[in-house]
Structure 1
C-alpha cells in the first residue's frame, strides 16, 4: 500500500477502534511552576472520549497544520496537547489575534487615564505628521471606537484586493502610519450597506491598518512602545515572561498582527477575558472595559458580530444558538472565550493563507471541545 494512504488509514482505524472501546482515562495536563492550576477533565464532567478525538483526527490528517490545543475550565487547564512540531515553549505567531491584545491595551490606557475614552479623536495624536494627503473634514471625527469596531470611513478592506487600504499594500510602504492616515474616504457601492442601514449603526470592513493605528494611538498616549506597555500592564500581572511583537519599518509596534506567545500564555489572556478582567482573582484590566469589548458593536457577517477587535460567532449547540467570543488570526490561530461557562480554548495552527484554516479551527472547537464541555463546572473554581 502507498505510504501516502497509510497514515490516514491508521488514523481512521484508531478512531474506529476508540469508538467501540470504553473511554480511556485522559490525564490532567502537567502541573508546572507557571501558575496554571490543572484539573482532571473527567472529574469536572468533560466527555473525555470526545476530547480524545482531537489527537485522533489530527493523526488522521482530518485536521491539518494544528500545533497545539489547550482547554481551560474556570481557570484550570483540563487539556493540553502539542502536535506537528509544536511545543510548550513555542512562541506561536498569532497573526490577527494580536488585534484583540491591542484592544485590551487601549482599555489599559483608558483605565490609567492616558486616553480619555473610546470617543477620543484619532487624528490629533498625529499632528506631527501633517500635512497629510487626502485631507477631509470627516476624518477629524474619526474616533478610537471607529477603529476598534472596524467601521471607520477609510477606504480599507483587507478582503478586497483592489482596496486602497488592503494590508498587503501597507506592508510594502516605508511609513505605515502615513499610509493609513492618508487613506481616502470610501464610497458606498449600491451593494454595500451604509452605516445607517447596518445593524448597530456601523458598516463593518475588516481593516488591519485601523488596528495598527489604534496601537499607535496607545504608543502616543502612553509615550512608550506598545510591546513595552503590554509587558507592564498585561504580561507581568499575568505572569507572562516571553513574547515577541513585530514592528513597522518606521519602528511602530504592530498592533494589527504578528505578536508571538506560547499557548499557555495566550490562554492566560483568554482566561482573563473570561473572568471579567481578572487573573486568579486579581484584577488586570477593568471589568467595565472587558464588558465593553465583549459587547456586539458591528455585524461582521451573517453569522458573526464584532466587539472591540474581537469576533462573536454564533454556533448551533444543543438545539439553540451559542454565542462564542474569539481572538482570531490567519492560519487558524484562535482563542475561544465563553465567559458564562468559564470556558477558554486555544488552537494554534500553521495553516497560513489556507482557505480552510479558519473553518477547520472553528469546527475543532465546536464539534470536539464545545460538544465535550459539561453544562457547568462540577468543582468550584479556584480563587
Structure 2
C-alpha cells in the first residue's frame, strides 16, 4: 500500500532525526483498517515501577495512564445503559451517604454527577502544577490517603460547580466507585465483562493502590491493538462487529463540549476535544491523553484513529511528540 508506506517512511524519518522521541508504539487506522503499525524499543515502567528496556510489540501491555480516565467514562456509559449507576443530573454527594457530614453539607448539594464527568466539581485539586513524583500532587495524595473517597469529597470548595474546569483524577475515582457499587463488582471485573470481553480483549492489568482499589484515574494497561479496538468501537457509535456495546447517545454526549480547558481546547465527559484540518477543512478530534505521551486520538468525521505509546513519563514536554505524530504524520497525510 503506497499510502501506508509513505506514512511509515515519514514516521521513521521523524524518529531518526530525533524530532520524535521515546516512542514505544504507533498505530493508525481509518474506518477500522490499520494503515500503520510500528513498535520500538525503550525503557518503560508500570505505574512508576521501572521495567527496564522493553522490546515492544503487538502483545506488549503498556500503561495508559490518564487515558484510563476516558475508558472509565465509557464504562460509566455502559453501566448507565444497564441502570446500574445514577444519571448525570443526579446529586453527586447523595450517592455517598457513608459520609453523612459531607452528603449533608448544603454548600455541596449542587454538585452533580455531571460535574465529575466534566471535571467541573468546584473543589480544590492540584494535579497539573505538581509532577506525579510529588506527594503533594492531589492524585498521589489521594492514593496515599487512608480513605480515598473522603479525601476527594472533603476538598475545599473553590467555586460554583460547572463554572471552571479543573483536571482531577479524584473526579474519575468517584465515577469508578459508582460503577463498582452499582454493579457489585470491582471496576476491573466490570470492565472485563462489559467492555473487554465483547471486544475480544483478554489480556490487561489494572494497577491498584495500597487499599486494593484499582486506580480509575491512571492504572489501566492494554496493548496498542486493544486500545485501537476501543477507538474503533467509539468511531462506530458504540457498535463492535454489529453488536451494541454502549449506546450511541452516551458517546455523542461524551463527545459534546462541556467546558473550556483554558488552553484553547474543550472537555466533554472525560475526553479532550478540539479541531484539526485535513485538506484545509477543519474536523473535530477527540482525545484520551495520558502522562508520558499516551494517546488515543479519534477524528469521527474522517474515521481516523491513532494510538500512541511513549516513555516520556513526568517530562514537561511529553505532549510534543504525540502531537507532532498526530498532526504532522497522521492528519497531514490523509485526504479525508
**Normalized against structure 2, the TM-score is what?**
0.89
- Quote the Cα distance in structure 2 between the aligned partners of 1:301 and 1:323: 18
Instruction: Check conservation: 2:61, 2:223, Cα contact below 8 A.
Output: yes
Question: How much has 1:263 moved relative to structure 2?
Answer: 0.3
- Quote the Cα distance in structure 2 between the aligned partners of 1:251 and 1:121: 27
Which residue of the other structure, out of 170, 192, 195, is the alignment partner of 1:231? Answer: 192
Partner-residue secondary structure (3-state), 2:145: coil
Cα RMSD over matched residues? 2.2
- Quote the Cα distance in structure 2 between the aligned partners of 1:143 and 1:251: 27
**Partner of residue 286, structure 1:** 247
- The 5-angstrom pairing of residues 92-241 of structure 1 reads 92-132=62-102, 136-161=105-130, 166-187=138-159, 202-241=163-202
Question: How much has 1:272 moved relative to structure 2?
Answer: 0.7
- Quote the Cα distance in structure 2 between the aligned partners of 1:83 and 1:150: 34
Instruction: Check conservation: 2:4, 2:36, Cα contact below 8 A.
Output: no
Instruction: Check conservation: 2:7, 2:36, Cα contact below 8 A.
Output: no
- The 5-angstrom pairing of residues 60-71 of structure 1 reads 60-71=17-28
**Partner of residue 9, structure 2:** 52
Partner-residue secondary structure (3-state), 1:95: coil
**Partner of residue 282, structure 2:** 321
Instruction: Check conservation: 1:351, 1:357, Cα contact below 8 A.
Output: yes
**Partner of residue 306, structure 2:** 345
1:342-375 deviations in whole A, cap 9, x for unaligned?
Answer: 1111000011011221122011111001112232
**Normalized against structure 1, the TM-score is what?**
0.78
- Quote the Cα distance in structure 2 between the aligned partners of 1:352 and 1:274: 28
Which residue of the other structure, out of 237, 247, 250, is the alignment partner of 2:211? Answer: 250
- Quote the Cα distance in structure 2 between the aligned partners of 1:243 and 1:176: 24
Distance verdict in 2 for CA 1:117–1:164, change over 3 Å: farther
Which residue of the other structure, out of 270, 295, 299, is the alignment partner of 1:334? Answer: 295
Instruction: Check conservation: 2:283, 2:301, Cα contact below 8 A.
Output: no
- Greater percentage in strand: 2
Partner-residue secondary structure (3-state), 2:285: strand
- Quote the Cα distance in structure 1 between the aligned partners of 2:143 and 2:86: 30
**Partner of residue 257, structure 2:** 296
- Quote the Cα distance in structure 2 between the aligned partners of 1:140 and 1:228: 31
